[in-house]
C-alpha cells in the first residue's frame, strides 16, 4: 500500500508524543539516581565542567548534556543521566516516524518503536550517563531526514541529514558508518531524476550540510579546548602517560593535535582489525547468540521478511538499511573491545525498522487475501497486539519488578554499576587530601574523585591521574616517572598501590589513609 500524503498528520504527532512521553517516564522511573564510576562518572563530571573526554572526544554530546545540568532536578550526576533518557525517548519517537514512512499503518510502527525502547542494551544505556542513546538519536534522525527528502524532494531535509551527520562526529563516531549507505541512497534516488545535474546538486547539498555540521563540531571542540578546566582527559591521562603512545610533550600541545589524537582513536587502534580471521567469526557468532535477548525471534524473522518486502516495494530504502546494517556489523565484528555490546545499538535500530516493514508487508498481504481495504486497521491493530504480547512484553517482563519498584533494572557485569556508597567514599577521600595533592588511581575512581572535588567542593587544586591508561600495557608509562620527578618537590603524590617501577627508581612508599581510602604516599630517599 502506497502512502498518498507527504506529511505526518495530527494523529502521528499525537502518537509520537504519547510514545516518547511514556518511554521517557519509563526511563525516568528506572533512571540511575546518582554518580557513576568509569565513563559514566567522566561524562557526569565533564558535561558540567566542559572539559575534554576520552577519545573520540564527544564535544557535541557534552554541549547538549550541559544544557540539562541547569535543570533544578536532583544533582548534576542525575541530570546528565536524565539526558540519556531524553535522547533515548527521542530515538524511539524517531523510529515510529520512520516506520510511518515505511508502512501505511500506525499501530505497527508504534509497537516496533516499543521493541527498541525495551531492548535491554538500549534501555540500559538510557538510564546512565553515556553517549549511546544520543548516538542512536542522531542515527535515527539522519535516516528520517533522508527518507523524508526522498519522499518530498525537500532540499532542506537533505541538508539536515548532512548537518546531523557532521554533528554526529561530536556525539559518537560510529554514526559515521552510516555515510556509505547514505551516499549510495542519495545517488540512486537522484538517478531517478535522470539527469547528472540532479546527482551533483543533491550530493552538494548533502556535503554542504555535513561540512556545516563538521564545522560546528570543531568549533565546539575548540571552545572546550580553550575553556580547559583543570579536570580533563588530556591533563589527567595523556600528559602524564604520553610515552605509552610514543608521544612527546609537544605532540599534544595544540588544539589540532588534541583533536587528531581523539578523532584518530589512537588509544583504541590496537583493537581494530587486529586479527580478522579469528576475531570476526567469533564476534559474529556472539552477536547472533545474544541477538534474541535484545529482539525476540519473531521480530528477527519479521526483519528478514521486511528486507525482502522492501526490496520489492522500496528497493532504495531497503538498500539504505541493509548497507547500513552490514557496514555496522562488519566494522564492529572486527573491533575487539570489552564493551562491544553497546556498539550494536544502531544495528538493533535497523532490525526494528525492517521488522516494522515486515509487519506492514504481512498486513498488506492480509488485505489482498481478504480483498477488503477496510480491514487494514484491524490487521494493523491485530498484528501490533500479537507482536506486543509475544515479542515485546516477554522482553520487558524481566524488568517489570524493577519498574514497579522504581529501581535501576540493569547491572551488567561488563559495565560499571551504580553504587550508592561511591559518592560518599569519593567525597570523604577528597576532603581529607592535602592541598595540591596528586593522586594516581584507576579509571573507575578518577572521575568520581574529580566530581566530588571540583563539581561539589570547588577544589581545583587536586589532580587525579589514571595509572594505567593504555589498554594494551599493564605497567606505568616511562613518562610517569618524569612526571613524578617534576612534581614531587612541590606537591604531595599518592598512588592507590605500590608501583614496582617507582620502587626501582628509588622512591619510598608511606602507607596512609585519606578518609576511607588506603593510599601510599611517594617520597624521595
Give the model confidence (pLDDT) of 448-463 as tens digits.
999 999 999 999 999 9
- Any domain includes 261: no
Residue 1 pLDDT grade (very low, low, confident, very high; cuts 50, 70, 90): very low
- Please list, in sequence order, all residues whose beta carbon lies within 8 angstroms of the beta carbon of residue 159, skipping any fewer than 6 positions away: 205, 206, 208, 209, 212
Give the span between the Cα atoms of 125 and 84, in whole angstroms.
7
Give the span between the Cα atoms of 80 and 86, in whole angstroms.
10
- Any domain includes 490: yes
* Least confident stretch, 68-82, 193-207, 328-342, 453-467: 193-207
Residue bearing cell 595533592: 437
Residue bearing cell 572526544: 57
Give the span between the Cα atoms of 94 and 20, in whole angstroms.
9
Q: Please give the pLDDT value at position 324.
A: 98
Answer left, alpha or beta for residue 458, where phi above 0 means left and psi between -120 and 50 means alpha.
Answer: left
* Least confident stretch, 9-18, 293-302, 337-346, 393-402: 337-346
User: What is the rounded average pLDDT of the residues 120-141?
Assistant: 97
Q: Which of 354, 376, 405 is the last residue of a domain?
A: 405
Which residue range forms the structural domain that includes residue 453?
A: 422-523
- C-beta neighbour count of 67 within 10 angstroms: 12
Question: Is residue 414 predicted with pLDDT exceeding 60?
Answer: no
One domain for residues 368 and 448:
no
Give the span between the Cα atoms of 471 and 266, in whole angstroms.
11
Q: Average per-residue pLDDT in the chain? A: 93
Question: Is residue 344 predicted with pLDDT exceeding 90?
Answer: yes
Question: Is residue 2 predicted with pLDDT exceeding 50?
Answer: no
Residue 479 pLDDT grade (very low, low, confident, very high; cuts 50, 70, 90): very high
Question: Is residue 3 predicted with pLDDT exceeding 60?
Answer: no
One domain for residues 401 and 426:
no
Residue 305 pLDDT grade (very low, low, confident, very high; cuts 50, 70, 90): very high
Euclidean distance between the first and the last CA atom of the chain, given in angstroms as a whole number: 82
- Any domain includes 415: no
Give the span between the Cα atoms of 311 and 150, in whole angstroms.
16
- Any domain includes 509: yes
Rg for the chain, CA atoms, rounded: 25
Question: Is residue 315 predicted with pLDDT exceeding 70?
Answer: yes
One domain for residues 101 and 206:
yes
What percent of the chain is predicted at pLDDT more than 90? Answer: 81
One domain for residues 336 and 484:
no
* Least confident stretch, 18-32, 197-211, 368-382: 368-382
One domain for residues 390 and 474:
no
- Any domain includes 325: yes
Q: Please give the pLDDT value at position 274.
A: 81
Give the span between the Cα atoms of 178 and 147, in whole angstroms.
14
Residue 167 pLDDT grade (very low, low, confident, very high; cuts 50, 70, 90): very high
Answer left, alpha or beta for residue 437, where phi above 0 means left and psi between -120 and 50 means alpha.
Answer: beta
Q: Are 59 and 224 in contact (CB under 8 A)?
A: yes
- Please list, in sequence order, all residues whose beta carbon lies within 8 angstroms of the beta carbon of residue 367, skipping any fewer than 6 positions away: 1, 373, 375, 376, 379
Number of domains making up the chain: 2
One domain for residues 400 and 426:
no
Give the span between the Cα atoms of 237 and 287, in whole angstroms.
32
Identify the residue with better confidence: 411 or 84.
84
Question: Is residue 267 predicted with pLDDT exceeding 80?
Answer: no
> How does DSSP classify residue 434?
P
One domain for residues 35 and 126:
yes
**Number of residues in the chain:** 525
One domain for residues 44 and 112:
yes
User: What is the rounded average pLDDT of the residues 22-30?
Assistant: 98
Record the pTM.
0.95
pLDDT tens per residue across span 96-118: 999 999 999 999 999 999 999 99
User: What is the rounded average pLDDT of the residues 391-420?
Assistant: 86
User: What is the rounded average pLDDT of the residues 380-394?
Assistant: 97
Sign of the alpha-carbon dihedral angle for 304, 313, 184, 58: negative
Amino acid at each position: 500500500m502506497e502512502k498518498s500524503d507527504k506529511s505526518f498528520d495530527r494523529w502521528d504527532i499525537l502518537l509520537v508524543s504519547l510514545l516518547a512521553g511514556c518511554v521517557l517516564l519509563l526511563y525516568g522511573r528506572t533512571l540511575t539516581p546518582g554518580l557513576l564510576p568509569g565513563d559514566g562518572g567522566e561524562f557526569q563530571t565533564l558535561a558540567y565542567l566542559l572539559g575534554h573526554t576520552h577519545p573520540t572526544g564527544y564535544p557535541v554530546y557534552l554541549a547538549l548534556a550541559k544544557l540539562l545540568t541547569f535543570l533544578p532536578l536532583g544533582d548534576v550526576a542525575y541530570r546528565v543521566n536524565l539526558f540519556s533518557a531524553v535522547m533515548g525517548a527521542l530515538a524511539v519517537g524517531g523510529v515510529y516516524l520512520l516506520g510511518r514512512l515505511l508502512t501505511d499503518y500506525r499501530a505497527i510502527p508504534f509497537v516496533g518503536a516499543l521493541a527498541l525502547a525495551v531492548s535491554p542494551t538500549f534501555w540500559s544505556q538510557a538510564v546512565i550517563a553515556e553517549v549511546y542513546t544520543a548516538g542512536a538519536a542522531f542515527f535515527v534522525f539522519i535516516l528520517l531526514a533522508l527518507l523524508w527528502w526522498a519522499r518530498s524532494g525537500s532540499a532542506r531535509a537533505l541538508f539536515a541529514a548532512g548537518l546531523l551527520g557532521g554533528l554526529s562526529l561530536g556525539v559518537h563516531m560510529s554514526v559515521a558508518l552510516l555515510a556509505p549507505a547514505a551516499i549510495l541512497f542519495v545517488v540512486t534516488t537522484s538517478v531517478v531524476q535522470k539527469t547528472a545535474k540532479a546527482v551533483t546538486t543533491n550530493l552538494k547539498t548533502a556535503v554542504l550540510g555535513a561540512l556545516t555540521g563538521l564545522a560546528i563540531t570543531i568549533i565546539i571542540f575548540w571552545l572546550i579546548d580553550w575553556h580547559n578546566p583543570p579536570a580533563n582527559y588530556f591533563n589527567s591521562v595523556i600528559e602524564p602517560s604520553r610515552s605509552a603512545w610514543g608521544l612527546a610533550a609537544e605532540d599534544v600541545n595544540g588544539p589540532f593535535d588534541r583533536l587528531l589524537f581523539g578523532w584518530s582513536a589512537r588509544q583504541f587502534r590496537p583493537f581494530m582489525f587486529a586479527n580478522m580471521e579469528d576475531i570476526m567469526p567469533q564476534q559474529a557468532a556472539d552477536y547472533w547468540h545474544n541477538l534474541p535477548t535484545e529482539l525476540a525471534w519473531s521480530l528477527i524473522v519479521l526483519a528478514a521478511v521486511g528486507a525482502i518486502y522492501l526490496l520489492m516495494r522500496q528497493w532504495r530504502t531497503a538498500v539504505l538499511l541493509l548497507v547500513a546494517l552490514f557496514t555496522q556489523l562488519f566494522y564492529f565484528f572486527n573491533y575487539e573491545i570489552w564493551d562491544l555490546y553497546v556498539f550494536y545499538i544502531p544495528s538493533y535500530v535497523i532490525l526494528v525498522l525492517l521488522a516494522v516493514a515486515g509487519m506492514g508487508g504481512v498486513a498488506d498481504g492480509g488485505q489482498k487475501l481478504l480483498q477488503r481495504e477496510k480491514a487494514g486497521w484491524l490487521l494493523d491493530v491485530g498484528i501490533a497486539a500479537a507482536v506486543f504480547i509475544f515479542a515485546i512484553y516477554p522482553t520487558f517482563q524481566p524488568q517489570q519488578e524493577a519498574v514497579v519498584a522504581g529501581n535501576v533494572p540493569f547491572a551488567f557485569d561488563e559495565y560499571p554499576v551504580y553504587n550508592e556508597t561511591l559518592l560518599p567514599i569519593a567525597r570523604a577521600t577528597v576532603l581529607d587530601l592535602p592541598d595540591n595533592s596528586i593522586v594516581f588511581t584507576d579509571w573507575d575512581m578518577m572521575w568520581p574523585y574529580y566530581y566530588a572535588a571540583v563539581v561539589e567542593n570547588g577544589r581545583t587544586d587536586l589532580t587525579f591521574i589514571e595509572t594505567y591508561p593504555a589498554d594494551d600495557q599493564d605497567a606505568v608509562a616511562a613518562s610517569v616517572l618524569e612526571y613524578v620527578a617534576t612534581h614531587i618537590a612541590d606537591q604531595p603524590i599518592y598512588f592507590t598501590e605500590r608501583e614496582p617501577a617507582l620502587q626501582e627508581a628509588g622512591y619510598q612508599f608511606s602507607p596512609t589513609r585519606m578518609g576511607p581510602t588506603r593510599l601510599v604516599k611517594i617520597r624521595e630517599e
